[in-house]
Amino acid sequence: MKDGKFRNCHAYVNTLTDGTVRLTSYWSIVCDVNKEHHTITFYPRYRYGATTMQHVRKFLVDLLGFYVPMYIVDDYLKTQGSTYKYALVYHGYTVNFSSNYANGVTR
């Protein structure tokens, strides 16, 4: 996946130095994927709105070939309260949640 504008959306993709691919939607970092470590990290604003959720869905499908259903994520978060430790494994990827508000434009 190329760095820069994601599709024709108001979202951007950046590859970090450790190989993590990051999705920024509307100036908020919403999702990181590290294919080498098989991890997906969602940041608090990943569900900010319907359009941001579409960006996340398209990003995961384009990058990994599958989408993590948000009802699975929501159900897990309800059971965990405010602790965002390792959450669940989906398609061999560990899905993490961060309580860190990683904001800022990373174009």
Q: CA–CA separation, 88 vs 107, rounded Å? A: 30
In whole angstroms, give the CA distance from residue 96 to residue 16: 18
Mean pLDDT, consecutive 10-residue stretches, the chain (107 aa), reads 92 95 93 91 85 92 86 73 60 74 48
Q: What is the pLDDT of residue 20?
A: 95
User: Nearest-CA neighbor of 12 among 3, 89, 20?
Assistant: 3
What pLDDT score was predicted for residue 78?
A: 73
pLDDT the model gives residue 99: 66
Q: Give the per-residue pLDDT at 42.
A: 86
For residue 23, the model assigns a pLDDT of 95
Domain-by-domain residue ranges, the chain?
A: 4-97
Helices (H), the chain: 50-64, 70-80
